[in-house]
Amino acid sequence: MAERLRVNPIACEAHGMCAELLPEMISLDEWGYPIIDEHPIPPELAELARRAAQACPTFALLIQRDRPRG
Amino acid sequence: MNVSPILHAATTGPSAYWYLTRSSGAVTLLLLTLTLTLGVVDVRRFSSPAWPRFVVDSLHRTASLLALAFLAIHILTSVLDSFAPISLIDAFIPFTGTYRPFWLGLGAVASDLMLAVLITSLLRRRMGHATWRATHWLAYASWPIALLHGFGTGSDVKGTWLLALSIGCLIVVIAAVLVRIADGWPRDIGRRAAALGGTGVFTLGLLLWLPGGPLGKEWARRSGTPANLLGHSSASSSRSNINSVVSTGEPSSSEGEK
């Protein structure tokens, strides 16, 4: 099952720590808000993605598991 | 006395706990200062290629946990040491003990506040951001209370090293607080003015109090050291100067503490 990054746009305060920790998948727009790569997180980045989610001061970065569609 | 003072202190002097509790107290002050300063750097969202935000943020967290570890050592060793009658209860419930109750109580207040900050930070995911933030401000209150505790109970205040360390930390914290107050000025001006006023009153009060307080005469008695311990000090002074010096925390040139 693939895992993907999600941002809660209401909680996000543009601290930008996620982009520092996971530049492979997250870049910042000109106001400092994250632009997320919506592809499944490659296994070699899974650990960094988890760290980025934990580092978010407002817990706005989430790692979401794909649900099998029914 | 022809035995070397150090050897004498090592064999008949106070326990290792007493030395540990004093040194861990000083290290805790240093780490709390570092934590507070890093917290301000963190909230200002400072970042540079060498100091990305996540580095400052995790250093702030690591320094705070280290400070709490040293605080635990500080509390445990002061309880374990048999010279000063300090119980584990005194370390958490303020103003109830028999040894310098007010000044020891300030230490208990400061560590209780830090515990509140620690617990809310651990539960941060489960509580609202606003509640967490409001509780986190208690950390600013705990610092000056801890400093006063150090001046009031500290055995080494009259020794220049601890005084220099305390004043150095105070200057760093004042600078950090001023930077914090200036950040976002003049939003929430009332709160900022209160913080500014509080900092000024505390600093001025401290500077006025120190010379006649812990740096003045007979502080050990005036601060509420139990009479039997003060008696122990003068009785043992004929036997061993350094023993009484270290155990009551008065300098060797003490003018006949009663």
pLDDT tens readout for residues B36-90: 999 999 999 998 999 999 999 999 999 999 999 999 999 999 999 888 889 999 9
For residues B95 and B60, give the distance between their C-alpha atoms in angstroms, rounded to a whole number.
31
For residues B122 and B32, give the distance between their C-alpha atoms in angstroms, rounded to a whole number.
18
Tell which residue, B26, B37, B210, B25, has the closest CA to residue B140. Answer: B37
Task: Quickly tell me which residue has 């569609």 as its tokens.
Answer: A69
B90 within 8 A of B108, measured Cβ to Cβ: yes
Nearest chain A residue to B128 by CA: give it: A58
Q: Do A16 and B47 touch (CB under 8 A)?
A: yes
The DSSP-derived string for B109-129 is HHHHHHHHHHHHHHTGGGS-H
Interface residue B57 vs chain A (CB under 8 A)? yes
The pLDDT, as a whole number, for residue B5 is 53
Q: Is there a domain that residue A57 lies in?
A: yes
pLDDT at residue B234 is higher than 60: no
SS3 B137: coil
B98 vs B11, residue with greater confidence:
B98
For residues B12 and B162, give the distance between their C-alpha atoms in angstroms, rounded to a whole number.
24
Instruction: Say if residue B258 is exposed, middle or buried (CB neighbours under 10 Å; 0-12, 13-18, 19+).
Output: exposed
β-strands A26-28, A34-36 pairing? antiparallel
Interface residue A55 vs chain B (CB under 8 A)? yes
The mean per-residue pLDDT over the stretch B156-184 comes to 94
Interface residue B82 vs chain A (CB under 8 A)? no
Q: Do A17 and B45 touch (CB under 8 A)?
A: no
| pLDDT tier at B130, thresholds 50, 70, 90 | confident
Nearest-10 Cα torsion for B157, B240, B254, B7: -40
Q: Is there a domain that residue A21 lies in?
A: yes
Nearest chain A residue to B125 by CA: give it: A59
Q: How many domains does chain A have?
A: 1
Q: Is there a domain that residue A70 lies in?
A: no
Tell which residue, B219, B208, B225, has the closest CA to residue B251. Answer: B219
Which residues of chain A lie closer than 8 angstroms to B45, CB-CB? 15-16
B19 within 8 A of B87, measured Cβ to Cβ: no
**Position A38: which residue type?**
E
The pLDDT, as a whole number, for residue B12 is 54
Lowest mean pLDDT among A18-22, A30-34, B47-51: B47-51
The pLDDT, as a whole number, for residue B158 is 83
The pLDDT, as a whole number, for residue B159 is 84
The mean per-residue pLDDT over the stretch A10-16 comes to 94
The mean per-residue pLDDT over the stretch B107-136 comes to 93
pLDDT at residue B240 is higher than 50: no
Interface residue B218 vs chain A (CB under 8 A)? no
| pLDDT tier at B246, thresholds 50, 70, 90 | very low
The mean per-residue pLDDT over the stretch B155-179 comes to 93
The pLDDT, as a whole number, for residue B83 is 80
Nearest chain A residue to B132 by CA: give it: A58
User: Domain range holding A18?
Assistant: 3-65
**Complex ipTM, two decimals?**
0.85
- For the domain that residue A21 is a member of, what is the CATH number? 3.30.70.20
Within 10 angstroms of residue B56's Cβ, the number of other Cβ atoms is 21
Tell which residue, A40, A48, A46, has the closest CA to residue A20. Answer: A48
pLDDT at residue B241 is higher than 70: no
Cis? peptide before A23, omega within 30° of 0: no
| pLDDT tier at B98, thresholds 50, 70, 90 | confident
Nearest-10 Cα torsion for B230, B233, B238, B241: -150
- Tell me the pTM: 0.84
pLDDT tens digits along B144-158: 999 999 999 988 888
Question: Of A20, A57, A58, which has the smallest distance from its Cβ to B52's Cβ?
Answer: A20
Q: Which long-range contacts (CB under 8 A, 24 or more apart) does B184-187 make?
A: none
> Across chain B, what does the average pLDDT equal?
85
Question: Of A15, A55, A58, which has the smallest distance from its Cβ to B45's Cβ?
Answer: A15
The pLDDT, as a whole number, for residue B255 is 37
Within 10 angstroms of residue B182's Cβ, the number of other Cβ atoms is 12
